[in-house]
Structure 1
Amino acid sequence: MMTADLIVLTGIVGRGHHGVYAFERDEGQDFVVDVVATMDLSVAAESDDLAETIDYSALATAVVADIERDPVNLIEKLADRIARTCLRDPRITTVTVTVHKPQAPMPVRVGDVAVTLTRSNAI
Protein backbone atom coordinates (compact mmCIF):
# COMPACT_ATOMS: atom_id res chain seq x y z
CA MET A 1 0.00 0.00 0.00
CA MET A 2 1.39 3.39 -1.04
CA THR A 3 1.30 6.06 1.65
CA ALA A 4 1.90 9.77 1.59
CA ASP A 5 2.29 10.36 5.31
CA LEU A 6 4.00 13.55 6.42
CA ILE A 7 6.05 14.79 9.32
CA VAL A 8 6.01 18.59 9.34
CA LEU A 9 8.31 20.85 11.34
CA THR A 10 7.77 24.59 10.91
CA GLY A 11 9.60 27.59 12.22
CA ILE A 12 12.93 25.98 13.14
CA VAL A 13 15.21 28.92 13.95
CA GLY A 14 18.99 29.04 13.81
CA ARG A 15 21.50 31.86 13.57
CA GLY A 16 23.68 31.72 10.50
CA HIS A 17 26.19 33.88 8.66
CA HIS A 18 24.96 33.18 5.13
CA GLY A 19 24.77 35.72 2.33
CA VAL A 20 26.72 37.37 -0.41
CA TYR A 21 27.43 40.58 1.51
CA ALA A 22 30.27 40.95 4.01
CA PHE A 23 27.98 42.44 6.67
CA GLU A 24 25.74 39.35 6.48
CA ARG A 25 28.75 37.13 7.06
CA ASP A 26 30.04 39.35 9.90
CA GLU A 27 26.81 40.09 11.76
CA GLY A 28 24.79 36.96 11.03
CA GLN A 29 21.02 36.73 11.16
CA ASP A 30 18.22 34.35 12.01
CA PHE A 31 17.10 31.85 9.40
CA VAL A 32 13.78 30.06 9.74
CA VAL A 33 13.30 26.61 8.22
CA ASP A 34 10.25 24.48 7.49
CA VAL A 35 10.64 20.77 6.74
CA VAL A 36 8.01 18.43 5.30
CA ALA A 37 9.21 14.82 5.26
CA THR A 38 7.25 12.14 3.42
CA MET A 39 7.50 8.61 4.73
CA ASP A 40 5.35 5.61 5.59
CA LEU A 41 4.09 6.14 9.13
CA SER A 42 1.77 3.12 9.21
CA VAL A 43 4.13 0.93 11.27
CA ALA A 44 4.69 3.70 13.83
CA ALA A 45 0.96 4.36 13.98
CA GLU A 46 0.33 0.70 14.71
CA SER A 47 3.23 0.06 17.10
CA ASP A 48 3.30 3.41 18.93
CA ASP A 49 7.10 3.03 18.94
CA LEU A 50 9.44 6.00 18.39
CA ALA A 51 11.98 3.70 16.73
CA GLU A 52 9.52 3.22 13.85
CA THR A 53 9.41 6.92 12.94
CA ILE A 54 11.61 9.98 12.76
CA ASP A 55 12.64 11.55 16.05
CA TYR A 56 11.62 15.10 15.15
CA SER A 57 13.59 16.52 18.06
CA ALA A 58 16.77 15.05 16.58
CA LEU A 59 15.77 16.20 13.09
CA ALA A 60 15.19 19.78 14.28
CA THR A 61 18.55 19.74 16.05
CA ALA A 62 20.27 18.57 12.85
CA VAL A 63 18.58 21.37 10.87
CA VAL A 64 19.83 24.00 13.34
CA ALA A 65 23.33 22.51 13.09
CA ASP A 66 23.15 22.90 9.28
CA ILE A 67 22.06 26.53 9.65
CA GLU A 68 24.79 27.35 12.13
CA ARG A 69 27.75 25.69 10.41
CA ASP A 70 29.94 27.06 7.61
CA PRO A 71 28.45 29.97 5.66
CA VAL A 72 27.15 29.77 2.11
CA ASN A 73 26.27 32.55 -0.29
CA LEU A 74 22.77 31.44 -1.23
CA ILE A 75 19.82 30.12 0.74
CA GLU A 76 19.29 27.73 -2.16
CA LYS A 77 22.54 26.04 -1.12
CA LEU A 78 21.48 26.04 2.53
CA ALA A 79 18.12 24.46 1.65
CA ASP A 80 19.89 21.73 -0.33
CA ARG A 81 22.26 21.08 2.59
CA ILE A 82 19.30 20.66 4.94
CA ALA A 83 17.45 18.41 2.48
CA ARG A 84 20.50 16.14 2.19
CA THR A 85 20.68 15.91 5.98
CA CYS A 86 17.02 14.89 6.15
CA LEU A 87 17.44 12.27 3.43
CA ARG A 88 20.21 10.52 5.35
CA ASP A 89 17.37 8.58 6.95
CA PRO A 90 16.35 6.17 4.17
CA ARG A 91 12.80 5.98 5.51
CA ILE A 92 12.23 9.54 4.30
CA THR A 93 11.24 9.21 0.66
CA THR A 94 10.83 12.90 -0.12
CA VAL A 95 11.57 16.11 1.73
CA THR A 96 10.50 19.66 1.04
CA VAL A 97 12.60 22.33 2.72
CA THR A 98 11.78 26.03 2.90
CA VAL A 99 14.46 28.41 4.12
CA HIS A 100 13.18 31.84 5.15
CA LYS A 101 15.56 34.78 5.35
CA PRO A 102 13.38 37.40 7.04
CA GLN A 103 16.15 39.99 7.37
CA ALA A 104 17.36 39.66 3.79
CA PRO A 105 18.73 42.96 2.52
CA MET A 106 16.18 44.17 -0.02
CA PRO A 107 15.77 47.48 -1.88
CA VAL A 108 12.05 47.51 -1.03
CA ARG A 109 10.06 46.40 1.99
CA VAL A 110 9.11 42.71 1.92
CA GLY A 111 7.63 40.48 4.57
CA ASP A 112 9.88 37.52 3.85
CA VAL A 113 12.32 36.04 1.38
CA ALA A 114 12.24 32.25 1.08
CA VAL A 115 13.39 29.40 -1.09
CA THR A 116 11.59 26.07 -1.24
CA LEU A 117 13.02 22.93 -2.80
CA THR A 118 12.03 19.28 -2.88
CA ARG A 119 14.44 16.36 -2.97
CA SER A 120 13.90 12.62 -2.85
CA ASN A 121 15.70 9.38 -2.16
CA ALA A 122 15.73 8.01 -5.69
CA ILE A 123 15.32 4.28 -5.94
Structure 2
Amino acid sequence: MAIPDGLDRIELTGLRGFGHHGVFDHERRDGQEFGVDVVLGLDLTAAGTTDDLAETVHYGELADSIHGVLVGPPVDLIETLALRMVDLCLTDARVQWASVTVHKPNAPITPTFTDVAVTIERSRR
Protein backbone atom coordinates (compact mmCIF):
# COMPACT_ATOMS: atom_id res chain seq x y z
CA MET A 1 0.00 0.00 0.00
CA ALA A 2 1.32 3.42 -0.88
CA ILE A 3 0.48 6.72 0.74
CA PRO A 4 -2.87 7.89 -0.65
CA ASP A 5 -2.86 10.63 -3.29
CA GLY A 6 -3.20 14.16 -1.99
CA LEU A 7 -1.50 13.52 1.34
CA ASP A 8 1.81 14.91 2.47
CA ARG A 9 4.18 12.85 4.55
CA ILE A 10 6.15 12.98 7.77
CA GLU A 11 8.83 10.30 8.10
CA LEU A 12 10.67 9.14 11.21
CA THR A 13 13.30 6.56 10.29
CA GLY A 14 15.87 4.60 12.22
CA LEU A 15 14.39 5.02 15.69
CA ARG A 16 16.19 2.54 17.95
CA GLY A 17 15.45 0.98 21.29
CA PHE A 18 16.33 -2.00 23.45
CA GLY A 19 13.39 -4.30 24.09
CA HIS A 20 12.65 -7.74 25.48
CA HIS A 21 10.26 -8.91 22.76
CA GLY A 22 10.18 -12.41 21.33
CA VAL A 23 8.78 -15.87 21.77
CA PHE A 24 11.93 -17.41 23.26
CA ASP A 25 12.91 -17.21 26.92
CA HIS A 26 16.39 -15.86 26.09
CA GLU A 27 14.84 -12.99 24.06
CA ARG A 28 12.69 -12.01 27.01
CA ARG A 29 15.58 -12.37 29.46
CA ASP A 30 18.45 -10.81 27.50
CA GLY A 31 16.62 -8.39 25.21
CA GLN A 32 17.93 -6.96 21.96
CA GLU A 33 18.02 -3.87 19.79
CA PHE A 34 14.99 -3.08 17.63
CA GLY A 35 14.43 -0.39 15.02
CA VAL A 36 11.33 1.43 13.83
CA ASP A 37 10.44 3.47 10.76
CA VAL A 38 7.23 5.51 10.71
CA VAL A 39 5.54 7.29 7.81
CA LEU A 40 2.47 9.45 8.36
CA GLY A 41 0.17 10.70 5.61
CA LEU A 42 -1.64 13.95 6.36
CA ASP A 43 -2.34 17.38 4.92
CA LEU A 44 0.48 19.73 5.89
CA THR A 45 -0.91 22.81 4.14
CA ALA A 46 -1.92 24.59 7.36
CA ALA A 47 1.44 23.91 9.00
CA GLY A 48 3.35 25.08 5.93
CA THR A 49 1.23 28.20 5.56
CA THR A 50 1.12 29.29 9.20
CA ASP A 51 4.54 28.02 10.34
CA ASP A 52 2.74 26.86 13.50
CA LEU A 53 3.79 23.65 15.25
CA ALA A 54 0.23 23.21 16.51
CA GLU A 55 -0.86 22.60 12.90
CA THR A 56 1.22 19.45 12.46
CA VAL A 57 2.28 16.28 14.24
CA HIS A 58 5.12 17.04 16.64
CA TYR A 59 7.67 14.44 15.52
CA GLY A 60 9.61 14.72 18.77
CA GLU A 61 6.55 13.72 20.75
CA LEU A 62 5.77 11.01 18.20
CA ALA A 63 9.30 9.62 18.59
CA ASP A 64 8.94 9.55 22.38
CA SER A 65 5.58 7.74 22.16
CA ILE A 66 6.78 5.16 19.64
CA HIS A 67 9.97 4.61 21.65
CA GLY A 68 7.85 4.05 24.77
CA VAL A 69 6.05 1.18 23.04
CA LEU A 70 9.33 -0.20 21.73
CA VAL A 71 11.03 -0.37 25.14
CA GLY A 72 7.80 -1.05 27.02
CA PRO A 73 6.20 -4.28 28.16
CA PRO A 74 7.37 -7.30 26.15
CA VAL A 75 5.27 -8.97 23.48
CA ASP A 76 5.88 -12.16 21.53
CA LEU A 77 5.60 -10.77 18.01
CA ILE A 78 6.94 -7.70 16.23
CA GLU A 79 3.58 -7.72 14.44
CA THR A 80 2.03 -6.80 17.79
CA LEU A 81 4.50 -3.95 18.26
CA ALA A 82 3.86 -2.61 14.77
CA LEU A 83 0.08 -2.73 15.20
CA ARG A 84 0.26 -0.93 18.55
CA MET A 85 2.47 1.74 17.02
CA VAL A 86 0.33 2.29 13.91
CA ASP A 87 -2.76 2.57 16.14
CA LEU A 88 -0.91 5.15 18.23
CA CYS A 89 -0.11 7.17 15.09
CA LEU A 90 -3.78 7.23 14.13
CA THR A 91 -4.87 8.69 17.47
CA ASP A 92 -4.08 12.10 15.98
CA ALA A 93 -7.14 12.94 13.87
CA ARG A 94 -5.00 14.78 11.30
CA VAL A 95 -3.20 11.55 10.38
CA GLN A 96 -5.11 9.89 7.54
CA TRP A 97 -2.66 7.08 6.84
CA ALA A 98 0.23 5.53 8.77
CA SER A 99 2.88 2.93 8.08
CA VAL A 100 5.09 1.42 10.77
CA THR A 101 7.98 -0.96 10.13
CA VAL A 102 9.55 -2.77 13.08
CA HIS A 103 13.04 -4.15 12.44
CA LYS A 104 14.52 -7.06 14.39
CA PRO A 105 18.10 -7.29 13.06
CA ASN A 106 19.17 -9.84 15.67
CA ALA A 107 16.27 -12.24 15.24
CA PRO A 108 17.11 -15.76 16.41
CA ILE A 109 17.41 -17.46 13.03
CA THR A 110 20.31 -19.57 11.80
CA PRO A 111 21.03 -18.42 8.23
CA THR A 112 23.02 -15.24 7.69
CA PHE A 113 20.67 -12.28 7.16
CA THR A 114 20.63 -8.51 7.38
CA ASP A 115 17.23 -7.77 8.86
CA VAL A 116 13.80 -9.15 9.68
CA ALA A 117 11.04 -6.56 9.49
CA VAL A 118 7.27 -6.33 9.66
CA THR A 119 5.33 -3.41 8.17
CA ILE A 120 1.74 -2.59 9.05
CA GLU A 121 -0.16 0.15 7.23
CA ARG A 122 -3.55 1.53 8.12
CA SER A 123 -5.76 4.25 6.66
CA ARG A 124 -8.84 6.15 7.75
CA ARG A 125 -10.09 6.14 4.14
TM-score (norm 1): 0.95
Q: How far is 1:69 from its partner? A: 1.1
Distance 2:6 2:45 in 1: 8
Q: Give the Cα separation in 2 of the matches to 1:3 and 1:57.
A: 24
**Does the CA-based 8 Å contact 1:79-1:98 persist in structure 2?**
yes
Residue number in structure 2 paired with 1:63: 66
Paired amino acid for 1:47: T
Residue 112 of structure 2 is matched in structure 1 by: 109
Alignment deviations for residues 10-68 of structure 1 (CA, whole Å, 9 cap, x no partner): 00111111000000000111110000000000010100000000100000000000011
What is the TM-score with the length of structure 2 in the denominator?
0.93
The yes-or-no answer on 1:26 pairing with 2:29 is yes
Aligned AA (2:120): L
Q: Is the 8 A contact 1:31 1:102 kept in 2?
A: yes
Native 8 Å contact 1:90 1:121 kept in 2: no
Q: Is 2:75 the counterpart of 1:77? A: no
User: Are 1:4 and 1:39, in contact at CA under 8 Å, matched by a contact in 2?
Assistant: yes
In the alignment, what sits opposite 1:10?
A: 13
Amino acid at match of 2:76: N
**In the aligned structure 2, how far is the partner of 1:29 from the partner of 1:85?**
23
Q: Distance in 1 between matches of 2:43 and 2:92?
A: 12
How many angstroms apart in 2 are the aligned matches of 1:90 and 1:26?
37
Identity of aligned residues (%): 49
- Write the distance in 2 (CA, Å) between the matches of 1:41 and 1:94: 13
Aligned residues: 121
Query: What is the RMSD of the two structures over their aligned residues, measured on CA atoms?
Result: 1.0
Partner of 1:42: 45
SS at match of 1:30: strand
